[in-house]
Structure 1
Amino acid sequence: MKTIKLGSSTLEVPNIAVGCFRMHSLDKFEAKYFVQTALELGANFFDHADIYGRGACEEIFADAIGMNSNIREKIILQSKCGIHKGMYDFSKEHILNSVDGILKRLKTDYLDVLLLHRPDALVEPEEVAEAFDTLEISGKVRQFGVSNQHPMQIQLLQKFVKQPIVVNQLQLSITNATMISNGMNVNMENAFAVNRDGGVLDFCRLNDITIQPWSPFQYGFFEGVFLGNNDKFPELNKKIDEIAAKYNVSNTTIVVAWLLRHPAKMQPIIGTMNTDRLKDCVEASDIILTREEWYDIYRAAGNILP
């Protein structure tokens, strides 16, 4: 599998990450088979969060992979914290306690990457800075990032946090591509011109922050998948199937390849627990869509060019 550098760090990672959001739906044998398949495919970057399965996903993963020092050296672990009891909490105490819980469940001494999950309206960046310093000095976390944050929120953090923000995990798919479309509809009088995220795509590229698209197969906010949904997205599915036939791959592969084709060098988070579907996703790492194919898919989803 192809690799990219994670943000401004020196960490080389696969350009497709394995999301473990649904791992608690597997029994121990299914989980072990899934994790081993991922490793065989070269997909050794695993994305977690302390709220996934209320912590169960991290525990199941650690048991499935048979966590030990030899295994740990061969994988890259990322987890997230900050969602807590119906609210968001970026306090120093909560971040530190969350990381200790994550490490215990994953049966490891350190995380390669820690992300702050969703923006906390009551964030005190000075406290975040203290927490990050403590985690870095103790060796518990090596790289830091955020999730679902716009440029000004990141800049506020970076005013106090000395560690570079290397990741921003954001919702992005062919049908949820506003961060792309508003950049092409500048000064236009249409809905695509509305800048809803502060130019986060260009900001991340300018500041060497890797975008990790989540829910790459979803439309709306968890309303469903667009792939195979010919009632709502007939033209899109027709175009994806046409291009998939050209490359002799699945339509799933083309969806991921569409994200990878963007020069921002994104790292999509793949949330499937189906090994065949995971293989289809990983296959996208070696496919480079043409410019015409990328734009054909973009327009087929209902996105317009001014």
Structure 2
Amino acid sequence: MKKIKLGTSSLEVPVVAVGCMRINSLDKKQAETFVQTALEEGANFFDHADIYGGGACEEIFADAIQMNGDIREKVILQSKVGIRKGSFDFSKEHILEAVNGSLKRLKTDYLDVLLLHRPDALVEPEEVAEAFDQLERSGKVRHFGVSNQKPMQIELLKKHVKQPLVANQLQLSITNATMISNGINVNMENDAAIDRDGSILDYCRLHDITVQPWSPFQYGFFEGVFLGSDKFPELNRVIDAVAAKYGVSNTTIAIAWLLRHPAKMQPITGTMNLDRIKDCCKASDITLTREDWYEIYRAAGNILP
């Protein structure tokens, strides 16, 4: 598995991360097998959130990997905080409480990475800074980042937060590529030219913030998977042809499409299927040509001006 530096940090991470949002759909033996399979593929970066399964996903993962000191040093753990029932909460009190809860469930003394999950309209950057400082001093969190945030929201945090923000987890896939298409359709009078996120992709590249695409196989907002969907016949025809060319699966090509972008992204998988997680990891060894990348982009209905 190829590795990249996470943001401006010295932390080396695999280019494919394992999302654990659905691990509570597995029984104990299946969870153990899934985690072991990921590790065998070199995918030792596991993405969590305190709300996944109401906290159960972190507990199931810790049990599945049989967490102890030796194992802890071989894995990279990321979790997210800030979502509460009916609200978002970046208060110092909630951040600290949520991190303590994740640490307890994960059976570890520290997180390698902590992300703020969804933008809190009532955020007070001073409180976030105090929480981050306390977590860093105590050794409970080593690196910090955000999720689903646009440039000015990150700049607002940076006014007070002194730690580098090393990652931004954003929804991005072949069919959900507005952050790419608005950069291509500059000064055009079409929907693809609409800037919905403040040029977040360019911003992250300029500031060396690693983009972590979530839902890399989804279209819409959890409406379904585009691979094999009759809603995207041309896209699937092209992906299947490209997959045949490289001798891999369509799953591998969907991840390879993200990895081909020079932003050096780290896609977050969501599958609990053993074959698919293996196929996701194979994308590390595939480098699509420029022609392949653009053909897939256009087949999804994305336009070139």
TM-score, scaled relative to structure 1: 0.99
Q: Secondary structure of 2:159's partner?
A: helix
Counterpart of 2:232 in structure 1 is 233
CA positional deviation for 1:136 = 0.1
CA positional deviation for 1:85 = 1.9
CA positional deviation for 1:232 = 1.1
1:255-294 superposed matches below 5 A: 255-294=254-293
Counterpart CA distance in 1 for 2:116 and 2:99 is: 11
Counterpart of 1:61 in structure 2 is 61
Counterpart CA distance in 2 for 1:84 and 1:222 is: 20
Counterpart of 1:131 in structure 2 is 131
CA positional deviation for 1:151 = 0.2
Counterpart of 1:205 in structure 2 is 205
Question: Does residue 19 of structure 2 align to residue 19 of structure 1?
Answer: yes
Counterpart CA distance in 2 for 1:15 and 1:124 is: 33
Counterpart CA distance in 2 for 1:57 and 1:220 is: 24
Counterpart CA distance in 2 for 1:288 and 1:47 is: 24
Question: Does residue 144 of structure 2 align to residue 144 of structure 1?
Answer: yes
Q: Secondary structure of 1:38's partner?
A: helix
What does the per-residue CA deviation read over 1:256-279, in whole Å, with 9 as the maximum and x for residues that have no partner? 000000000000000101111100
CA positional deviation for 1:22 = 0.1
Q: What is the letter of the counterpart of residue 164 of structure 1?
A: P
Counterpart CA distance in 2 for 1:259 and 1:108 is: 31
Counterpart CA distance in 2 for 1:185 and 1:102 is: 42
1:81-96 superposed matches below 5 A: 81-96=81-96
Counterpart CA distance in 2 for 1:85 and 1:196 is: 26
What does the per-residue CA deviation read over 1:69-96, in whole Å, with 9 as the maximum and x for residues that have no partner? 0000000000000001210000000000
Question: What runs of 5+ residues in structure 1 fail to find an aligned partner?
Answer: none
Counterpart CA distance in 2 for 1:150 and 1:178 is: 13
CA positional deviation for 1:255 = 0.3
What does the per-residue CA deviation read over 1:244-295, in whole Å, with 9 as the maximum and x for residues that have no partner? 0011110000000000000000000001011111000000000000000000
What does the per-residue CA deviation read over 1:41-71, in whole Å, with 9 as the maximum and x for residues that have no partner? 1000000000000000000000000100000
Q: Secondary structure of 1:114's partner?
A: strand
Counterpart of 2:169 in structure 1 is 169
Counterpart CA distance in 1 for 2:182 and 2:85 is: 34
Q: What is the letter of the counterpart of residue 258 of structure 2?
A: L
What does the per-residue CA deviation read over 1:175-214, in whole Å, with 9 as the maximum and x for residues that have no partner? 0000000001111000011110000000000000000000
Counterpart of 1:180 in structure 2 is 180
What is the aligned residue count?
A: 305
Counterpart CA distance in 1 for 2:169 and 2:161 is: 18
1:100-119 superposed matches below 5 A: 100-119=100-119
User: RMSD between aligned alpha carbons?
Assistant: 0.4
List structure 1 runs of 4+ shifted beyond 2 angstroms: none
Counterpart CA distance in 2 for 1:275 and 1:85 is: 32
Counterpart CA distance in 1 for 2:44 and 2:82 is: 24
CA positional deviation for 1:141 = 0.1
Counterpart CA distance in 2 for 1:38 and 1:16 is: 10
Identity of aligned residues (%): 80
Q: What is the letter of the counterpart of residue 13 of structure 2?
A: V
Q: What is the letter of the counterpart of residue 61 of structure 1?
A: F
Q: What is the letter of the counterpart of residue 100 of structure 2?
A: D
CA positional deviation for 1:9 = 0.3
Question: Does residue 253 of structure 2 align to residue 254 of structure 1?
Answer: yes
Q: Secondary structure of 2:245's partner?
A: helix
Q: What is the letter of the counterpart of residue 129 of structure 2?
A: A
Counterpart of 1:243 in structure 2 is 242
